[in-house]
């Protein structure tokens, strides 16, 4: 097993439940790791400002991967580095918007003013239909279970983790990564150890080194106890 010096974890469905309530067990684990000098990276499809609030509440250093890898930052005072071209995602979204307008359906955008790389909207239309309409467009369609995202090509949490890890001076292979959804696949593949919580989608479970026996935050805590036990308070 590789030496693990850092943790990257998804938020929704990994340290929260379906109601987006953050697990107390997950918070306890993260704070134990932080207290022992382990770098903790929150990695989400959500916006940087949303992650700022979560990071402040939990007590991390503010190192984040936002918009499914479209942007990342080291520490609260670091520069937000944008990796994706949002113009590409917006161009594809306008094609999709026109398609659904023809069907009498209005899409609901999420965080329009606060996104720098991707486009996210409510899961009020079938993700498979969105993928079909977007065939030939230079975007990847991600269904996280909480939103549908149009992601510029080549952008992923795994790609961002590689860039962030290089800046931190910690090889990506020395990260433990934990996730549940299709936007976590590349992150689990890049990390030294990738764990899927029990409620993870099948594709995530397939690439994981370990699938937790428990769901959501309890599964996250199980992963930390399995791979980083010496950093937990007794």
Report yes or no: 196 and 203 within 8 Å, Cβ to Cβ.
Answer: no
81-82 and 71-73 strand pairing: antiparallel
**Catalytic: 10?**
yes
Q: From the candidates 10, 143, 216, 218, which is the catalytic residue?
A: 10
Report yes or no: 174 and 41 within 8 Å, Cβ to Cβ.
Answer: no
Among 133, 70, 124, which Cα is nearest to 96's?
133
Overall size of the chain counted in residues: 234
109-110 and 119-121 strand pairing: antiparallel
| 175-179, strands of its sheet edge to edge | 81-82, 71-73, 64-66, 39-43, 6-9, 175-179, 193-196, 210-211
Q: Which amino acids are annotated catalytic?
A: 10
């Amino acid at each position: 097993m590789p030496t693990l010096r850092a943790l990257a974890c998804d938020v929704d469905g990994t340290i929260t439940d379906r109601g987006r309530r953050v697990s107390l067990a997950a918070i306890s684990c993260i704070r134990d790791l932080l207290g022992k000098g382990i770098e903790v990276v929150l990695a989400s499809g959500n916006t940087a400002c949303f992650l700022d609030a979560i990071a402040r509440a939990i007590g991390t250093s503010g190192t984040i991967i936002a918009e499914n890898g479209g942007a990342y930052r080291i520490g609260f005072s670091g520069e937000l580095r944008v990796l994706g071209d949002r113009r590409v995602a917006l161009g594809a979204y306008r094609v999709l918007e026109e398609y659904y307008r023809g069907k009498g359906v209005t899409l609901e955008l999420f965080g329009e003013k606060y996104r720098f790389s991707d486009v996210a909207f409510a899961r009020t239309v079938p993700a498979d239909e969105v993928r079909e309409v977007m065939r030939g467009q230079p975007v990847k369609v991600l269904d996280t279970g909480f939103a549908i995202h149009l992601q510029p090509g080549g952008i992923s949490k795994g790609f961002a983790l590689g860039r962030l890890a290089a800046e931190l001076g910690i090889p990506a292979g020395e990260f433990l990564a934990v996730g549940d959804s299709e936007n976590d696949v590349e992150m689990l593949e890049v990390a030294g150890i990738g764990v899927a919580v029990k409620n993870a989608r099948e594709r995530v479970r397939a690439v994981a080194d370990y699938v937790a026996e428990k769901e959501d935050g309890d599964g996250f805590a199980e992963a930390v106890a399995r791979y980083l036990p010496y950093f937990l308070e007794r």
